[in-house]
Structures are given as C-alpha cells and as structure tokens.
Structure 1
C-alpha cells in the first residue's frame, strides 16, 4: 500500500473537497499509475478509517464506488484491485503525445484556416452585426409567452426534424412575396443558422472528393463546410458584376457552386442578370447545384430588393439558403434551406435521420412574430435606420479618406473600403481593433491574399449610431495614413 494513502492526512481546510472525494481520488491515481498493482488487496475499512481518522462509512462508500467504476473487485476475502493492464500506459502516455494532438485530427481539420479574428463583436463598425438595441424585445417576449401557452409542455419536446410547420409556412409565404422564391412550406427546412444550411447542402448533395466552387473573396463559413465534406475547392474571382467563371472551368464541372448574388460578401457586388441566367443554364447542363446564399438582401437601400436567383426560372437547380441572424439577431441561430421541388421528396428520409427537431419554443415564437406582422414592421424600421447609418458612414469616409474608393452600398450592413497595396489591410485591421473599432480585412476572406489580389477594409454600420461615424472614421484615417508612412519608410 503506498504510504501516501495511509500516512498523509486528508485536507480539512475550508473549501477543500470532501474526505470521500479526496480518498477516492487517491485510490484512482494509485491504481491508474501502477502503485497499486492488479490483485493487490486494499486494507480493511476499519484499519483505514483508524489510520486516516475518518468515519468508517466514508471508507465504505469509497470502496463501493471503486467497485462500481471497475477499479476494484469485492469478494469474500475483501476488496482487491481489478486487472487493468493498460492503466500505467494511460497515465504515462500523455508525455509522448504532442500538445496540439495533431495526429488525432482528420486531414480536413488541417485544411481549415481562420478567415478573420471575430474580435469583440460589441465594438463599433463590426461587419454583419445588426442594431441589437433596436430589436423589439418586448414584442418578442410576448410572442414567446403566447407560443408557450399554446404548445404547453410539448414546446419542450422534440419537434419536426424539418422544423415547426407553422414556421416553415411563415417562411415560405414571406419568401414568395418578398424574395420571389418559388416554394411551398414542404420545401423549407429550418436549420441552425445559415451555417447549418450550408453543411446540410454538402451532406445531401455532394460526395467526398467532388469539386466545389466559391467566390474569392468570399464567406469563410462555406469554405469550412466544403472542407468538412472533403470536397476539392476552387476559388472564382469577383468583379463589379459578381462572380466571374472562366468558360474553360466547365471542362471539370463542380458538384456545388456557392454564390451571394444579391449582395456579394464582402465586396457588395450584385450578380448581373446575364451571369445569373448563364450560371443557371450551365449548372443545369452539367448537373450542378447552385447554393444561393441570400444572407442580408432584405436591406436594400436604393429601389426595390433584387429577386432571388431561385425564382428566375421554374425548378432552377438552386439550393436557397437564408438566415434570421441579420434581420433579427444572431443569437437566435435560426436559418433555413429551400430545397428544389424535384429534390425535396428524395431527401425526406435522409433529413429525418440527419436532423433532430429542437428549439421548438424559439421556432414557434418566430412563427408568431412573423404571422402577427412584427417581422415586417421590424424590417421596415431597420431599412430606414440602416439607410441613415450607411449615408452617415459614407459622409465620414468622404470627409476623412476621400482618396480611397468605396465598394458596395446598395444593400446590407457593411461597406468595403479599398486600400492601396502599400497599406496592408491585415495590419490596419489589427491596429483599428486595438483602437476600439472591429473592422475586417478583405484579404482574410480571400485565397488570393498571398498574391495581394484583395486589400481593403470591411466596415460595418449596423451596430453603430450615425453620430459615431465622424470620430471613428477620423481615428481610422490616422491609422491608415500611419500604415502608409510606415510602409514608405520600410520601402
């Protein structure tokens, strides 16, 4: 018997673990470390309680727990250490394992590179962050209360794997009217945000090793979803009319093509109608699926919202993805996928196995929020607010950085400011964050950053009051010009 078990007193100081827990831990460490070899007999409960000055019931409880967990075996002769041949290896193997544990990770994990440090999302100028302090929280709470009263305790149970029927119906009705999407409620699948919808597209419609195309620069979440599906990824450049696909690329067509046609992320470009129709035609010709990521198109600031690609032609080969993270609040974590009518029936059995219906109360409350008109009224208020804030941001940029071009602006919650090559956007973004502004670096969204193809700042205006832009952009201009001087000196 190791001397520490018998001679070292148990810790009786305030806040220490109970004597039972301490003694149990001692035995476990001794058994796993090999100090108590298999078959060795544990001391009698009487002798051990006398030695350690503890109640006999404490020792009895420890022995019973050791037997229950498989560390020991009890028979007529007493309690003995169980045979655990791998015990010493378990304890001592950690010394030979690299701290990063890389040999235990799949290859796909090593291919996932961070797009940008999210930083403190409470800071001003955070891209994609809505005006959370303008959300009608009291109306939302009333919707939750009504939903809970109607559903009762069943709101706490599992729901339909595809989402609550009332919410699917509300989403389908909204998309038909507001986005021109051709769909019925049966085609709508409620997901864990847009990221859940993207991952579902990969699981349902792609196989490992197949090709996938995405925009460059583009949304990092889709790259992660494609990597997780072991797909071969090819980046397609973006210009002022959206994604540019070289006709020669169709010699090796992909399985999935991800685009943000109504408001390209992060440049803000709108995919032209000619390119939309051409992409649909080629995708249909080659048996590809287009993932239309319509993440914030509700907030169009000039004219009417641009209809979705999905509704341009009947039964288009488009998987339509949307989210409530921008229109309501990101913590809601509710998104959706609209399946083509031709694919919905075949995917039904797989969806029932892949998904588990949850977040019922939130889904029922959202259905109530939409059906009662609160969603439409909130969107109207936010469109006016974001239009005002974007104009204030443009005014501040023109006043303090007039020499730099601004991209985007017709939709969404951010503008993109182009920087000269001599001003690395990563360094400016880091310095801005240290100064209390959470702007993003365009290069972090691009696979072409090594060639210096994209260099700029993604500046959010959703979570920033109009009167703040003047002082903030003045401070940002100081950082930009300081970076230019530093690069000039270094050159």
Structure 2
C-alpha cells in the first residue's frame, strides 16, 4: 500500500530513484536501505524534521520486509540520525544538516601542526630489495627456521596468558637477555629494571623526548646525521641545533655550550651515521663532563656497532664512567630484520625509578610472543652466531664494493665508514649533484641515499652517496658500480669535469 501522508513522499521518492538490489554480494537489502537513508540525511535530501514513513508503509512501498525497515530505523535512531516517537519517525536536527556531494571542493585544506610542517620529507629510499639501499640487512641470510622454532616454543610456553598486554616495559626475560648481551659485548652498566622494550629505536627516541624535555628546550643533533632523531625532536617542539661532525665525530664548540645549552644531545659515537666516524675517548669523556655540568642528557644510539670488522667492538659511552647521564638505545632492525620492530632503551640508574610511573601510562606492552622468542634466540647463542656470520658477510661485501668503486668510479672521491656497519659513504665533489644522481640511478633499481639529505645545514663537503650493501648481493657489485659510475659522470657539470683527473683511485 502506498503511503497516505504526503509528508512521507520525500523518502519514498528518494529510495525509488534507484531500487534496492536483491542478492548484491556483501550487501543485504537491510544494509542497502540503511546506507541509502543515512546518505540521504547527510546530503540534505532528507532535511531535519522531515517525517519518515512508518515501517509497514515503507516496507510495502519499496518491496522489502518490515523487519528490515524496523532494524534499519532502530540503528539510525541509535546513531542519532532519526528520532522515533509515538507521533512518528522524523529526521533529527543536525548541526550541519546538509552535506552536499561536492562540498569538499570548497572545504579548507587540512592544516598540519607547526611541528609537523617543520619536518622535511625523508628521502624516498624505495623497496628493501633495491640495490645499495642503506639500513637494510641481508634479509635472505636470516635463519628463519631457527626463528620459527623459537617463536613456536614461545607460543606454546606463553600460551593464552601471553596474549594479554603484559608489563608495559616489556617481557622480563627479554630485558634480562638484552642486558646480559650488552654487558658482555658493549660494556653497558645497568640492571634489568632500567631496560625498556620499544617499538624500534624511533619509539625509544620519542620516549626520551617525552621523559626529559619541555616544548622549546634545545636539542643537539649530529650534522650530517640520522634523520629519525631530527624528526623525533621536532615533533617534541624542541629547538633543534645541528652540530657539525668531523673526521672523529661530534665536535661541539665551547661557544655552543654557552650560547645554545642543550637539554638533549643525540650522538652515534661507535659508528657515526652516516659518515662512519668513531668518537674518541677524550671527546666522549669531555661530552659526559660537560653534559653533567649543564644538566644535559646524552642519547647514545648504538644502531649497528655490532658489525665491526676486526678486533673487539667499540665500547659503549654509557658504560665509560659510573652514573653517566646517558640514555642508551638500540634496535634489532639491523642485527636481525626490520619487520621485527623491537628496540630498547636503557635508562640511567637515577632516572629509571622516576620514569617508570610515567612509562606505565605511556606504554601498553604487546608483541609478547615475539619478545619471548627473541629472549630465547639471544640466550641460546643463536643471536651471537648470527652476528658472527653477518660480520664475515658484511666484511666480504665491504671489500668487494670498495674494490669495485676503485676500479670503476673514475671521478675524484673519498670512501668512509668501512670499519663497521652495512654502508659506505662516498663523498663527491660539488660538481656532482648527489640528489640528482640518486634520482637518476633509481631507473636501474639502485637506491643509494644522497649524503646532503642527512644534513640540516648542508655544506659543500656534504655531497656524495651513502651506499648500503647489507641486502645487495656481491655478485651484482661490478655491473652496478659500472652503471653508477656512468650516471655520476653524466650528472657532473661539464666545466668542472674538464679539470678533474680521470684516475679511478679514491682521494
């Protein structure tokens, strides 16, 4: 029976413009009806106060069951779109009753917070499989079978109990395992209560900012240096000051301490990123002393120091002297694989008890089976064996890449960073635009990073390429470097190339 009240016509007419479709995959008649009425209200086709037909009347008019109409009305009422009463069903009053289909054309553009607007977009490195992409380990060499067994045992032993949130600071077994490894391999001085498991190193950096700074505080970063630290500080509304890096790492002048006294200092002392410099002991001790004197905290990022080529590993700054004002962070993204997303933060002894109540509110735990599996992976010796294999592999790849560069890169250049890690930094004369070169080689499935993009205040010497070799097969080095050399030569300024020697020897 058609509706008898003219006031009900708008809804019926609106619905009959395009009949509901039976047997539409994934959409029942009830769902179609619900979406049609909701969109009609939002678009202003069914204005506020418009009376809607009764459930029986509407069901008969559009050919659906009354139960479907009743269910749709009930949900729309619960969502606040319509009002049900004994006097009838009406469209509820809306703060913005009409939302036309094309209003987005005149809507104001979204505004990003000032802290976000100040962050430069990171260089687009592309897929992990692209040759020479920095920061990607040898994914195909990870012992997946061993890891699967550790994970299976963690799921079996942890059971359903390990599916809850867990301790916000992370699984006790993993914190103890990490600390045992760090004490032996890196000389870190701490207790398990000082260790916090994080979602990679980036969350550890964000926690340092939240725990220790207020908006407007000053933070120092290495220049050139790790972009993630710059981003974490800018997102905390900090005054980010670039501090130049020389052949020995971070070098802050006495004037900087007086003029731009920091609250946080970010450094990568064991293998500066991306230049590869090692901060010598006198500078480390001086940095610690001055940080204490000025009430500053040092963030020591030990991101890939496990891959030193020969001899003992460079010791951590954190354990150099007792009670150093150092927050030590690390990640398993380089030593194992990035998708694991497990990092850690070691808090200073004096800071840990004060920070824990806040961390209880900031963190929620999780990834418990993966953490338990990683604890077993470390304590069983598998982690140490994997590191040993990767050191040998990366040493071989480093040597082969250096040899290929010496043979084929026939422009003046210097190579740095080879004593540790998974990348080489090739400095080029300013005549060769590193960003243009990095874009040009993308067509050949190469993804080196331009050195200039790591600097907040680039200088002429901050020009070159950061070549990651961790996930690039050594069998490809010769043809890749030959192609890279041609692209470098093609993207140099002709006037500057004429006076340059053609020797392939690095300078």
Global fold match (TM > 0.5) = yes
Cα deviation, residue 92, structure 1:
7.2
Residue in 1 that maps onto 2:270 = 262
Question: Quick check: 2:432–2:492 contact (8 Å CA) kept in 1?
Answer: yes
- Residue of 214, 226, 242 corresponding to 1:235: 242
Cα deviation, residue 40, structure 1:
2.0
Cα deviation, residue 129, structure 1:
0.6
Cα deviation, residue 187, structure 1:
1.0
Question: Quick check: 1:425–1:456 contact (8 Å CA) kept in 2?
Answer: yes
Q: Which runs of 5+ in 2 are unaligned?
A: 1-9, 498-507
1:129 aligns with 2:139: no
- Residue of 237, 249, 253 corresponding to 2:256: 249
Residue in 1 that maps onto 2:285 = 277
CA–CA separation in structure 2 for the residues paired with 1:384 and 1:51: 77
Q: Please identify, of 276-285 and 451-460, the stretch whose mean Cα deviation from structure 2 is larger.
A: 451-460
Q: Which runs of 5+ in 1 are unaligned?
A: none
1:392 aligns with 2:397: no
Residue in 1 that maps onto 2:501 = none
For residues 84-95 of structure 1, the aligned pairs below 5 Å read 84-88=94-98, 94-95=104-105
Question: Quick check: 1:7–1:51 contact (8 Å CA) kept in 2?
Answer: no
- Residue of 439, 451, 466 corresponding to 1:430: 439
1:60 aligns with 2:75: no
Residue in 2 that maps onto 1:31 = 41
Residue in 2 that maps onto 1:175 = 182
Question: Quick check: 1:202–1:225 contact (8 Å CA) kept in 2?
Answer: yes
- Residue of 419, 431, 455 corresponding to 1:446: 455
- Residue of 215, 229, 233 corresponding to 1:226: 233
How has the CA–CA distance of structure 1 residues 36 and 319 changed in structure 2, closer, same or farther, with 3 Å as cutoff?
A: same
CA–CA separation in structure 1 for the residues paired with 2:70 and 2:408: 76
Deviations 1:201-259 (Å, cap 9, x if unpaired)? 10111111100000011101011110111100100111110012111001131000000
How has the CA–CA distance of structure 1 residues 370 and 81 changed in structure 2, closer, same or farther, with 3 Å as cutoff?
A: same
Q: Please identify, of 321-330 and 50-59, the stretch whose mean Cα deviation from structure 2 is larger.
A: 50-59
Residue in 2 that maps onto 1:144 = 151
Question: Quick check: 1:6–1:48 contact (8 Å CA) kept in 2?
Answer: no
Residue in 1 that maps onto 2:3 = none
CA–CA separation in structure 1 for the residues paired with 2:439 and 2:203: 29
Question: Quick check: 2:270–2:305 contact (8 Å CA) kept in 1?
Answer: yes
Cα deviation, residue 12, structure 1:
4.6
CA–CA separation in structure 2 for the residues paired with 1:11 and 1:399: 69
Question: Quick check: 2:125–2:448 contact (8 Å CA) kept in 1?
Answer: no
- Residue of 279, 297, 304 corresponding to 2:312: 304
Deviations 1:275-334 (Å, cap 9, x if unpaired)? 111111100110100000000000001322110111111111111011111110011001
Deviations 1:126-157 (Å, cap 9, x if unpaired)? 11111111111111111111112221111111
Q: Please identify, of 45-54 and 394-403, the stretch whose mean Cα deviation from structure 2 is larger.
A: 45-54
Cα deviation, residue 192, structure 1:
0.6
Cα deviation, residue 14, structure 1:
5.0
- Residue of 397, 414, 425 corresponding to 1:405: 414
Question: Quick check: 2:209–2:236 contact (8 Å CA) kept in 1?
Answer: yes
SS in 1 for 2:266: strand
Cα deviation, residue 369, structure 1:
0.5
SS in 1 for 2:388: helix
SS in 1 for 2:298: strand
SS in 1 for 2:385: helix
SS in 2 for 1:94: helix
Question: Quick check: 1:448–1:454 contact (8 Å CA) kept in 2?
Answer: no
Cα deviation, residue 30, structure 1:
2.0
Question: Quick check: 1:7–1:52 contact (8 Å CA) kept in 2?
Answer: no
Q: Please identify, of 68-77 and 174-183, the stretch whose mean Cα deviation from structure 2 is larger.
A: 68-77
- Residue of 445, 464, 479 corresponding to 1:471: 479
SS in 2 for 1:484: coil
CA–CA separation in structure 2 for the residues paired with 1:20 and 1:149: 44
Task: Calculate the TM-score normalised by the size of structure 2.
Answer: 0.92
Cα deviation, residue 20, structure 1:
2.1
CA–CA separation in structure 1 for the residues paired with 2:495 and 2:486: 14
Deviations 1:326-363 (Å, cap 9, x if unpaired)? 11001100100111111111111111111111110010
1:117 aligns with 2:127: no
Cα deviation, residue 83, structure 1:
1.8
Question: Quick check: 2:133–2:469 contact (8 Å CA) kept in 1?
Answer: yes
Say how many residue pairs are matched. 486
Q: Please identify, of 419-428 and 12-21, the stretch whose mean Cα deviation from structure 2 is larger.
A: 12-21
1:185 aligns with 2:192: yes
CA–CA separation in structure 1 for the residues paired with 2:347 and 2:489: 48
Question: Quick check: 1:41–1:79 contact (8 Å CA) kept in 2?
Answer: yes
Deviations 1:3-41 (Å, cap 9, x if unpaired)? 322343224585473322222222112222333222221
